[in-house]
Amino acid sequence: MKNFKILHRDGNARAGRLTTPHGVIETPNFNPVGTQGVVKALGPRELKEIGVQIILGNTYHLMLRPGAELIEKFGGLHQFMGWDKPIMTDSGGFQVFSLGVALEHGSSKVVGRKYQKEESRPRLNKITEEGVIFQSHLDGSKHILTPEKSIEIQRKLGADLIVAFDDHESSKHTKAEMEKSLELTEIWGLRSLKKYNRKNWDGKQLMYGVVHGGTHQDLRIRSAHFTDENFDAISIGGIYGDKKMLCRIVEWVSAEVSEDKPRHLLGIGEVEDLFNGVERGMDFFDCVAPTRRARFGSLYICPENGGNKINSFAMSIRQSRYISDKKPIDPACGCYTCLNFSRAYLRHLYSAGEILYHNLATFHNIYFIVNLMREIRSAILEDSFHKLKFQWLGY
């Protein structure tokens, strides 16, 4: 892939550089999620101050509100939201999945808090080979998402990196059901490619194919081969199970795809997973964890200040022990929030329901992860990735 260069390897971990129409992204890298055309509570200038190089927008949410046509009128998502660095959009597949079998199986976790309960509910979608008919979680209106429509929307949004439309298996599916789902992902992947290659296409967007197959090694390998044959960029979707299973899936896939293509682990971004993904050759990650955690008072701390695997490298600012604590969230952190505000003040803002809490807390959490990725990249370039990983994870 001519736009992607691997600069250095440390074991299977890679430090690289991906060039896009909106600038270069240094890898490994983490994409903060800007679901509705905004990374929760942060403006573009704060993202730049943090050093964010790319953000991810959600096709499903943006197509419903404010609508892809509106965003296209503004010249794309970059102009609409005032962000001139790279953007990736997803296919919408995961969100429409969350309206369907994930609701039935009580494992939906994306579309609105009212759907997050772990109980079975009637599905809001219907999957055919043509695509997915679904009801909007906002107003119940009916919509259809097909591979062609997903790509068309992603073209209108104007992202630098886009994703082929995919079907999602549920962890409660039988292997036969998973195989069927994988077939659909393959058919839809080819249709996405066809739409992507149409001559009216501007050709500036890089499209990821998505590797599926659940926790089955043979299905993951089949999907890895298919994706590598057809796409210039590889993403891995449908990750579930424990942290060991994540490692296994990434190992199965990494071993089967071309070395010179960028690799994205979709929807993954907790600290331990970032280390494990990078170690196994992944270049990109995205996750709502930093923004969602911030909203609920969970703020990242590094190992020297109490962060570890058990607490997921986070402390809860809601605890009364911080009520008069003059220290910053993480005394080792160099972010604007930690340089200027105490735990006591942040706890006060949280307790008082003040909006500024969300701004300062999200700033810290995004900075923390982006900075961790910078450290990881430096470590790879200095052949000390495993030392850094051991310092953080103890293994």
DSSP annotation string for 306-353: T--TTTTTEEETTSGGGTT--S-SSTT--SHHHHH--HHHHHHHHHTT
Of the candidates 7, 11, 23, 74, which one interacts with a copy of itself according to CB under 8 A?
74
> Which region, judged by CB under 8 A, interacts with a copy of itself, from 75-83, 150-158, 327-335, 387-395?
75-83
The residues with which 208 forms a beta bridge, in sequence order, are 163, 233
Active-site residue, from 90, 160, 166, 330: 90
Does 42 participate in binding a copy of itself (rule CB under 8 A)? yes
The residues with which 76 forms a beta bridge, in sequence order, are none
Q: Is 171 helix (H, G, I), strand (E, B) or coil?
A: coil
Does 66 participate in binding a copy of itself (rule CB under 8 A)? yes
Residues 1-40 as x/- pattern, contact with a copy of itself by CB under 8 A: -----------------------------------xxx-x
Does 358 participate in binding a copy of itself (rule CB under 8 A)? yes
What is the nearest approach in angstroms of a copy of itself to the Cβ of residue 42? 7
> Which region, judged by CB under 8 A, interacts with a copy of itself, from 42-50, 163-171, 215-223, 229-237?
42-50
**Window 91-130: residues binding a copy of itself (CB under 8 A):** none
6 sits in which H/E element: strand 4-10
Of the candidates 7, 245, 356, 381, which one interacts with a copy of itself according to CB under 8 A?
356
Does 325 participate in binding a copy of itself (rule CB under 8 A)? no
Does 323 participate in binding a copy of itself (rule CB under 8 A)? yes
Of the candidates 82, 241, 306, 331, which one interacts with a copy of itself according to CB under 8 A?
82
Cβ neighbors of 132 (< 8 A, separation 6 or more) are: 93, 96, 100, 125, 126, 144, 145, 146
Q: Of 97, 79, 81, nearest to 34 (Cα)?
A: 81
**Interhelix angle for 243-254 vs 217-230, to 10°?**
40
DSSP annotation string for 117-166: SSS----SEEE-SS-EEEE-TTT--EEEE-HHHHHHHHHHHT-SEEE---
Does 345 participate in binding a copy of itself (rule CB under 8 A)? yes
Of the candidates 12, 135, 351, 391, which one interacts with a copy of itself according to CB under 8 A?
351
Q: Is the dihedral of CA 97, 102, 103, 104 positive or negative?
A: positive
Q: What distance in Å separates the CA atoms of residue 230 and residue 213, rounded to the nearest whole number?
A: 17
Size of residue set near a copy of itself by CB under 8 A: 36
Q: Which is nearer to a copy of itself, 141 or 174 (CB)?
A: 141
Does 324 participate in binding a copy of itself (rule CB under 8 A)? yes
Does 80 participate in binding a copy of itself (rule CB under 8 A)? yes
Cβ neighbors of 122 (< 8 A, separation 6 or more) are: 103, 104
Q: Which is nearer to a copy of itself, 36 or 230 (CB)?
A: 36
Does 354 participate in binding a copy of itself (rule CB under 8 A)? yes
> Which region, judged by CB under 8 A, interacts with a copy of itself, from 74-82, 91-99, 274-282, 380-388?
74-82
Q: What angle do CA 122, 128, 132 make, to 5 degrees?
A: 65
Active-site residue, from 10, 283, 286, 330: 286
- Under a CB-based contact definition with an 8 Å cutoff, are residues 196 and 148 in contact? no
Q: What distance in Å separates the CA atoms of residue 88 and residue 58, rounded to the nearest whole number?
A: 9
286 is catalytic: yes
- Under a CB-based contact definition with an 8 Å cutoff, are residues 119 and 81 in contact? no
Q: Which is nearer to a copy of itself, 65 or 198 (CB)?
A: 65
**CA dihedral of residues 210, 277, 46, 292 (deg, nearest 10):** 80
Chain residues binding a copy of itself by CB under 8 A are 36-38, 40-45, 65-66, 70, 73-74, 80-82, 323-324, 326, 336, 340-342, 344-345, 348-349, 351-352, 354-356, 358-360
| Catalytic residue ranges | 90, 286
